[in-house]
Amino acid sequence: MRRPLLLTFWVLLLAGCARNSAPKLLSPTAYGVQIVEVSGGKQIAAAGSVLPQPVVVQVNGADGNPVTGALVRFRGEGIAFNPSQGLSDSSGQVTTAVQVGFAAGDYQITAETPKQAGGVISINLRQTSLGYEATLGKAVNDKYCIRCHDPESTPERVSNFDNLSPAPHQFSDGATYNLMKDSDLLNIISHGGVALGKSPQMPAFGKTLKPAEIKAVVSYVRAVADPPYQPSGVKYAK
Partner 1 sequence: MNDTDKPAPLRSRPTFRELTTFGVVSLALLVSLAIAPAKNYFSDWRHYQKAYVKLAGERQSGNLVRNFHGGIRQIWIPKLGVVDRCESCHVNQIGALVGVSVQPFRKHPPVPHDLDRFGCVMCHRGQGAATSVEEAHYATEAWEQPLLPARYLNASCGQCHLGDLPGTPRLNEGRHLLSAMGCLHCHTVTQPDANVLKPTDDPPPLIHIAEKTSREWIYAWIKNPQAYAGSATMPNFQLSDQDAADISAFLIDQSTPSLAVKNIALSSAPAQTQPVDPTAAATLYGSSFCSSCHAVQNAAGNLVGGDFGPELTRVGSKVKVEWLHRWLKDPGQFEPGTRMSHYRFDDKQIDLLSGFLLAKKDEDLLSNVHLSQADAASIARGKKLVTEDGCAACHQINGVAPPQNFAPDLSRVGSRALSQIVFLPGMKHNLPDYITAKIRDPRSFGPALKMPKFNLSDEQTTALTTALLAQTDRAAGLPHELLQPAERRSDYHPGGDAGRLMEDLRCLSCHSINGNGGDMAPDLTREGSAVQRAWLEEFMSNPNTLRPALIRRMPKFNLSRAEIKTVSDYILSAYQAPGFDSQTLDAHQLGPDAAARGKQQFYSKYGCNSCHIADFKNDKGYIGPALAGVGNRLTPVWIYEWLKDPSSLRPGTLMPNPNVKDDEARDLTAFLMTLRAKPNGGKK
The conformation of residue 42, written as its DSSP 8-state character, comes to S
Residue 216 CB, nearest distance to partner 1 (Å)? Answer: 7
Give the CA distances from residue 193 to residues 47, 182, 197, in Å, rounded to whole numbers and listed in that order: 32, 15, 6
Q: What angle do CA 186, 152, 131 make, to 5 degrees?
A: 45
Q: CB nearer to partner 1: give 112 or 213.
A: 213
233: contact with partner 1 by CB under 8 A:
yes
8 backbone dihedrals φ, ψ, rounded to 5°: -55, -45
Q: Which is nearer to partner 1, 25 or 151 (CB)?
A: 151
Q: Residue 34 pairs with which residues in a beta bridge? A: 60
38 makes contact with partner 1 (CB under 8 A): no
Strand order in the sheet with 71-75: 44-46, 120-130, 105-114, 71-75, 85-87
Is position 236 an interface residue for partner 1 (rule: CB under 8 A)?
yes
| Contacting range for partner 1; rule: CB under 8 A; set: 8-16, 43-51, 88-96, 179-187 | 43-51
| 69 vs 191, beta carbon nearer partner 1 | 191
Per DSSP, 36 falls in state: E
Site string for partner 1, 171-200 (x = CB under 8 A): ---------------------xxx----xx
Other C-beta atoms lying within 10 Å of the C-beta of residue 117: 7
Type of residue at 65: N
Amino acid at 46: A
The strand pairing partners of 190, in sequence order, are: none
> Which residues, 135 to 164, sit near partner 1 by CB under 8 A?
135-136, 138-140, 143-144, 147-148, 155-158, 160, 162-164
Per CB under 8 A, 20 contacts partner 1: no
The least CB distance from residue 237 to partner 1, in Å, is: 9
**Candidate ranges 15-23, 64-72, 180-188, 205-213; the one touching partner 1 (CB under 8 A):** 205-213
Binders of partner 1 among 112-131, rule CB under 8 A? 131
Told to check if 54 binds partner 1 by CB under 8 A, we report no
How far apart are CB 233 and partner 1 at their closest, in Å? 7
CA dihedral 204, 134, 45, 52 (to 10 degrees): -20
Distance between CA atoms of residues 52 and 44, nearest Å: 8
To partner 1, the closest distance from the beta carbon of 221 in angstroms equals 15
**Chain centre to alpha carbon of residue 87:** 22
CA–CA gap between residue 78 and residue 86 (Å, rounded): 20
Interface ranges with partner 1 (CB under 8 A): 46-50, 52, 99, 101-104, 131-133, 135-136, 138-140, 143-144, 147-148, 155-158, 160, 162-164, 192-194, 199-209, 212-213, 215-216, 219, 233-236, 238
